[in-house]
């Protein structure tokens, strides 16, 4: 028993080293004087100022943030409906198709979704003359793959849910809609919130789907990063990586602290 | 309730299901480089025949399946002890340990793959270390090989393996193991007859969450792999963006979908069952 646990904890330590060593090195080299990311040329913050003066990178980041906020909000609403339907509507025509539709985008290879959504938008353009490819099409695509993630989180929360509270509200004369707004929604709000955050992060990070549906004018942050790293390592990307890891760490610590305080 | 079902149903029907019909229609068409979009509709199986007779595409299919299967196995071997250790840790430590697994997932996929580029390069940090420590005087570059792709997939998808495994291992009733020990079972016997079978749903879910996206992976083979390792997701991308051959790219997408329909259905059944058990 002890031997096995020791082996497992050794592997855990090894796993953490594996997960974090590359990230730590990338962050470390963002303070490198040299242009070469693999040769230490002394401490410098020059790549930090280069990145934050990089207009193209900044406007791409702004576009990505706007798309992420809009698509996460839409995905949270539709995903909430989908999760609620899956958890509460036991039987309706097409339920198994519905269940498959909700889960499939989660695991569907992104290149497949990318090409299929592009063909949809091209078809719509031929039939209706729009939408123009850019902000709108990227947002629609991101909503579509994010719905699943919100739905799963909401459905899981509703599965653990004490239904007697809802029944009590209904017995006291509340309509289903009022019951949902005053009892159910406040109780599952944390799940919807973390679903929103998940959708926001996924949208901010998506490259493949975006590249297919973006059209010629729009460039999101991952598209910029990709076209830069294809040519090799770039110290500005190290700076960006440092910022991203820091923001993610702060967000996680904050959310962990908030949930613990509530509990 | 009707509206609650209709909204996501319609959305996914229009933006997820309907497009596959379009992909199939285009896959049956012919490449027409001079028109916009570069497709001539028709009913030709030429693209599908090409995919299964041309050596290049056949090699890409086999390589993708081999790399996805190998990296799934490696991820499981690394992820299982990690999930096991977290599930056995003191309850107050678990949220922190779990958070450390999840954190990389909340950063950027692209950046995590990029992190390996500087490590695996010919003059990268890994080779500098190998030279400095005297392990290898003239180490070969790893970037651009199949090893780099494997490493990248294991690295990028490890959290997806650990989380479902932890979810099943955490619920495991410790009393069962105690009972087995009291009855004289050796730890290894108890593990093989109790822990392993009971964590099977987590193993299946974790493996599918790694295997399915890995088969169609694009970013990792593109940034870490070389020109000689062809994976099907990258082939689709190149056919579409470089060669502008929409029908052939669509045919690849259809085949990939057919290939993965089994694993995806299995994953859905697993998800539905685990949620029903909870409610």
Least confident piece of the model among A36-50, B76-90, B97-111: A36-50
**Interchain contact, A79 vs B100, CB within 8 Å:** no
Q: State the complex-level ipTM.
A: 0.87
**Chain A residues within 8 A of B279 when measuring between CB atoms:** 87, 158-160
For B94-142, what is each residue's pLDDT tens digit? 888 998 998 888 888 999 999 998 888 877 777 777 777 777 777 777 8
Average pLDDT of chain B is 88
Provide the token pair at A36. 């070469």
**Chain B residues within 8 A of A23 when measuring between CB atoms:** 104, 107, 112, 115
Q: What is the pLDDT averaged over residues B150-173?
A: 92
> What's the pLDDT at A260?
67
Distance from the Cα of B3 to chain A's closest Cα (Å) equals 9
**Chain A residues within 8 A of B110 when measuring between CB atoms:** 205, 207, 222, 225-226, 229
Distance from the Cα of B112 to chain A's closest Cα (Å) equals 7
Domain range list for chain B = 52-278
Using a CB–CB cutoff of 8 Å, tell me whether A29 touches chain B: yes
> What's the pLDDT at A259?
67
Instruction: Note if the pTM is more than 0.80.
Output: yes
CA B230 – CA B160 distance, rounded (Å): 24
For A129-182, what is each residue's pLDDT tens digit? 778 888 999 999 999 999 999 998 898 888 877 788 888 888 888 888 888 888
Distance from the Cα of A54 to chain B's closest Cα (Å) equals 18
> What's the pLDDT at A221?
93
Angle, to 10 degrees, between the axis of helix A2-28 and the axis of helix B146-170?
Answer: 130
Question: With 60 as the cut, is the pLDDT of residue A198 above it?
Answer: yes
**Interchain contact, B114 vs A120, CB within 8 Å:** no
**Interchain contact, B16 vs A82, CB within 8 Å:** no
For A7-37, what is each residue's pLDDT tens digit? 889 999 999 999 999 999 888 888 888 877 6
Secondary element (H or E) of residue B102? helix B94-106
pLDDT band for A1, please (50, 70, 90 cuts).
Answer: very low
**Interchain contact, A123 vs B223, CB within 8 Å:** no
Dihedrals phi, psi of A43, to nearest 5 degrees: -75, 140
**Interchain contact, A233 vs B117, CB within 8 Å:** yes
CB < 8 Å & 24+ apart, contacts of B188-194: B188/A4, B191/A4
For B227-259, what is each residue's pLDDT tens digit? 888 899 999 999 999 988 999 999 999 999 999
Q: Which among A198-212, B20-34, B132-146 has the top mean pLDDT?
A: A198-212
Contacts of A165 (CB under 8 A, 6+ apart): A183, A187
Q: For tokens 């991952």, what's the residue?
A: A222
A22: nearest CA in chain B?
B115
HSE value, Cβ hemisphere, 13 Å, CA-based, for B147 = 6
CATH class label, A58-232: mainly alpha
Q: Is A57 exposed, middle or buried (0-12, 13-18, 19+ CB in 10 A)?
A: buried
Q: What is the pLDDT averaged over residues B78-104?
A: 91
Using a CB–CB cutoff of 8 Å, tell me whether A102 touches chain B: yes
CA B203 – CA B165 distance, rounded (Å): 6
Question: With 70 as the cut, is the pLDDT of residue A3 above it?
Answer: no
> What's the pLDDT at B159?
93
CA B51 – CA B243 distance, rounded (Å): 15
pLDDT band for A67, please (50, 70, 90 cuts).
Answer: very high
In the CATH hierarchy, which fold is given to the domain comprising B52-278?
A: MetI-like fold (1.10.3720)
Helix or strand or coil: residue B141? coil
> What's the pLDDT at A2?
54
Q: What is the pLDDT averaged over residues B179-197?
A: 86
Q: Which of A33, A67, A64, A18 is nearest to A238 (CA)?
A: A33
Q: What is the pLDDT averaged over residues B156-183?
A: 89
Determine contact, residues B231/B62, Cβ cutoff 8 Å: no
pLDDT band for A60, please (50, 70, 90 cuts).
Answer: very high
Using a CB–CB cutoff of 8 Å, tell me whether A172 touches chain B: no
pLDDT band for B278, please (50, 70, 90 cuts).
Answer: low
B95: nearest CA in chain A?
A256
Distance from the Cα of A180 to chain B's closest Cα (Å) equals 11
**Chain B residues within 8 A of A104 when measuring between CB atoms:** 16, 264, 268
Question: With 90 as the cut, is the pLDDT of residue A38 above it?
Answer: no
> What's the pLDDT at B255?
92
Secondary element (H or E) of residue B31? strand B30-31
CA B139 – CA B141 distance, rounded (Å): 7
């Amino acid at each position: 028993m002890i031997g096995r646990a020791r082996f497992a904890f050794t592997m855990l330590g090894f796993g953490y080293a594996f997960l974090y060593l590359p990230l730590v090195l990338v962050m470390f080299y963002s303070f490198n004087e040299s242009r070469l990311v693999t040769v230490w040329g002394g401490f410098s913050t020059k790549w930090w100022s280069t990145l934050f003066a990089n207009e193209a990178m900044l406007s791409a980041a702004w576009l990505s943030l706007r798309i992420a906020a809009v698509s996460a909000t839409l995905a949270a609403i539709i995903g909430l409906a989908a999760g609620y339907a899956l958890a509460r509507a036991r039987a309706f025509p097409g339920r198994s198709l519905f269940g498959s539709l909700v889960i499939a985008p989660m695991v569907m290879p992104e290149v497949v979704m990318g090409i299929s959504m592009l063909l949809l938008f091209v078809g719509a353009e031929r039939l209706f003359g729009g939408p123009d490819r850019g902000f709108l099409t990227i947002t629609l695509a991101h909503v579509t793959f994010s719905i699943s993630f919100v739905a799963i989180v909401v459905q899981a929360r509703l599965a653990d849910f004490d239904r007697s509270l809802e029944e009590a509200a209904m017995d006291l004369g509340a309509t289903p809609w009022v019951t949902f707004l005053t009892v159910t929604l406040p109780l599952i709000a944390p799940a919807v919130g973390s679903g929103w955050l998940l959708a926001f992060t996924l949208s901010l990070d998506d490259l493949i789907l975006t590249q297919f549906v973006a059209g010629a004018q729009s460039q999101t942050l991952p598209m910029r990063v990709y076209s830069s790293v294809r040519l090799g390592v770039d110290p500005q990307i190290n700076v960006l990586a440092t910022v991203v890891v820091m923001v993610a760490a702060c967000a996680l610590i904050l959310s962990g602290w908030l949930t613990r305080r509530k509990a | 309730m009707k509206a609650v079902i209709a909204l996501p149903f319609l959305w996914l029907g229009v933006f997820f299901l309907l497009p596959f019909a379009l992909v199939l229609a285009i896959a049956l068409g012919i490449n027409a480089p001079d028109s916009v979009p570069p497709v001539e509709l028709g009913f030709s199986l030429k693209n599908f025949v090409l995919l299964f007779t041309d050596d290049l595409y056949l090699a890409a299919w086999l390589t993708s399946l081999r790399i996805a299967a190998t990296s799934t196995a490696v991820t499981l071997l690394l992820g299982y002890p990690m999930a096991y250790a977290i599930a056995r840790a003191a309850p107050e430590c678990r949220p922190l340990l779990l958070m450390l697994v999840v954190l990389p997932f909340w950063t950027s996929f692209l950046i995590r793959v990029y992190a390996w580029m500087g490590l695996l390069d010919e003059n990268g940090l890994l080779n500098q270390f190998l030279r400095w420590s005297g392990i290898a005087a003239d180490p070969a570059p790893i970037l651009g090989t199949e090893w780099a792709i494997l490493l990248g997939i294991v690295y990028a998808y490890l959290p997806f393996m650990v989380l479902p495994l932890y979810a099943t291992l955490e619920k495991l009733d410790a009393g069962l193991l105690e009972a087995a020990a009291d009855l004289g079972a050796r730890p290894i016997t108890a593990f093989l007859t109790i822990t392993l079978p009971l964590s099977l749903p987590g193993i299946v879910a974790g493996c599918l969450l790694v295997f399915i996206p890995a088969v169609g992976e694009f970013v990792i083979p593109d940034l870490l792999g070389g020109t000689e390792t062809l994976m099907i997701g990258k082939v689709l991308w190149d056919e579409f963006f470089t060669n502008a051959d929409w029908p052939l790219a669509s045919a690849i997408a259809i085949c990939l979908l057919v290939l993965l329909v089994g694993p995806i259905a299995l994953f859905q059944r697993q998800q539905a069952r685990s949620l029903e058990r909870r409610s």
